[in-house]
Amino acid sequence: MNKIYLDNAATTFVRREVADKMLSYFTDCYGNASSVYSTGRDAKKAIEDARRQVAKALNCQAAEVFFTSGGTESDNWAIKGAALANADKGKHIISSTIEHHAVLHTLEFLQKQGYEVTYVKVDEFGMVDPEDVRSAIREDTVLITIMAANNEIGTIQPISEIGRIARERKVLFHTDAVQAIGAIPVDVEEMGVDLLSLSAHKFYGPKGVGALYVRKGVRLEPLMHGGAQERGRRAGTENVPGIIGLGAAIEIAALKQKENAARIAALRDDLQQSILENIPEVRLNGHPVNRLPNNLNISVKYIEGEALLLMLDLAGIAGSSGSACTSGSLDPSHVLLAIGLPHEIAHGSLRLTLSEDTTREEIDEVKRVLPQIVQRLREMSPLYEKENHHVH
């Protein structure tokens, strides 16, 4: 059975040409980039090429790009680093209720260290109101951190507007753009951000490597102390193959962004329409228009997400859910609760995220299989029966 992989918000495959480029940096050009001999110098040069590729994709200077181990480190560094470096100015941070855990848990950590955090609410579509951010700003606010696009429901935030407000009020602005790269245009000038996190494995690059954009002049304490790598701001021997992969992947992602977005969104829209038309009592989560082109998040009433995922897996389809039963912590997704879903509806959520390799045939197969699975699980559900759907 051919597997249909629709969990690309979790991670993507690595593009063949990206993997090929990385290979020689494991086996041939393996020198330590800090060394003076030629294989080290070659590695160093390749890293600087990758840095330029990232800078070009983000519309910034190469000197403003710092390589990290991924989105989580970038988020941690941006937030803790800015909070620590600016503690003399104040200890107040503004964020939203739907951030990734890499942001939320970092903020919770800072709260324990005496920082104060205001979490602005989102509307039913998961959208932050920039005016809420404006009114949350205080004398002692040192950082605003709002994600560019949400990983669960795909809602794209009004980053440029928030950026203007941040600049007006002279507050640092960080955005977690992990889901945004390759999916929507990302331009640090346009967005008005001072700090931006990204991660290679979300845009057909390797896992374990990411970057943080740090606008020139922004004060940031390092998270990693040690050697002088990354101009003394992020110690640790560079992950050379990973960085090469990230550079190659972001270059292609930026080039193909427009074309990919249009094609993927068309397939997604077709799947969405079919589901909403053919399966009763399904709710679309996230913004109907301002949403990542590959994201489809629905809540299926009366059924539980993990059971739905298992059934889909038996049919060869991989997706994800914000259900409490899949979370380990047994709490439903904080994002789904933040957009106002009651527990039992959040429980029946399903997220399908497409890739640039997703085919029409695959989408047709999901359209065929999903209604049957939903019907099966509903027939097992005591909630379905209660709402007077007659089944025996």
Partner 1 sequence: MYTDKVMDHFSNPRNIGSLENPSGVGEVGNARCGDIMKIYIKVENNIITDARFKTFGCGAAIATSSMATEMVKGKTLEEALNLTNKVVTEALGGLPNEKLHCSVLAEEAIHAAIADYREKQKSS
Any idea which residues carry the catalytic annotation? 325
Q: Is 85 in the site for partner 1 (CB under 8 A)?
A: no
Give the residue among 156, 154, 217, 164 at the shortest CA–CA distance from 190.
164
Indicate whether 7 belongs to the interface with partner 1 (CB under 8 A): no
Give 229-263 as a 3 state SS string: CHHHCCCCCCCHHHHHHHHHHHHHHHHHHHHHHHH
As measured in angstroms, the least distance from the Cβ of 311 to partner 1 is 8
Q: Which is nearer to partner 1, 1 or 330 (CB)?
A: 330
Tell me which residue of 168, 123, 169, 165 sits closest to 142, measured CA to CA. Answer: 169
Residue 215 or 347: which CB sits closer to partner 1?
347
Q: Which of 334, 178, 304 is nearest to 246 (CA)?
A: 178
Q: Which is nearer to partner 1, 6 or 309 (CB)?
A: 309
Cα(243)–Cα(316) distance, integer angstroms: 33
* Residue 257 phi, psi (nearest 5): -50, -50
H or E stretch including 77?
Answer: helix 71-85
347 binds partner 1 (CB under 8 A): yes
* Per-residue binding letters, 277-306, with partner 1 (x by CB under 8 A): -------------------------xxx-x
| Contact with partner 1 (CB under 8 A) among 326, 333, 353, 358 | 326
From the list 84, 136, 235, 310, which residue makes contact with partner 1 (rule: CB under 8 A)? Answer: 310
Q: Does the protein bind partner 1 through residue 380 (CB under 8 A)? A: yes
Q: Could you say which residues in the range 183-212 bind partner 1, by CB under 8 A?
A: none
Task: Give every strand in the sheet of 282-285, ordered side by side.
Answer: 282-285, 295-300, 349-353
DSSP-assigned letters across all residues of 320-342 = B---GGGSSS----HHHHHTT--
Distance CA 138, CA 148 (A): 23
> Which CB sits closer to partner 1, 45 or 343?
343
Nearest to 86 by CA among 32, 159, 125, 144: 144
Q: Which of 231, 330, 361, 388 binds partner 1 (CB under 8 A)?
A: 330
Please say whether the beta carbons of 121 and 156 come within 8 A.
no
**Is 391 a binder of partner 1 (CB under 8 A)?**
yes
**Phi, psi (rounded to 5 degrees) for 146:** -135, 130
Is 320 a binding residue for partner 1 by CB under 8 A? The answer is no
Residue 176 or 304: the one with the smaller Cβ distance to partner 1 is 304
Stretch that binds partner 1, among 57-65, 119-127, 169-177, 327-335 (CB under 8 A): 327-335
- Give 56 or 376: the residue with its C-beta nearer to partner 1: 376
| Member of 222, 270, 379, 389 binding partner 1 (CB under 8 A) | 379
Where on the chain is the footprint of partner 1 (CB under 8 A)? 302-304, 306-307, 310-311, 314, 323-326, 328, 330, 332, 343-344, 347, 379-383, 385, 391-392
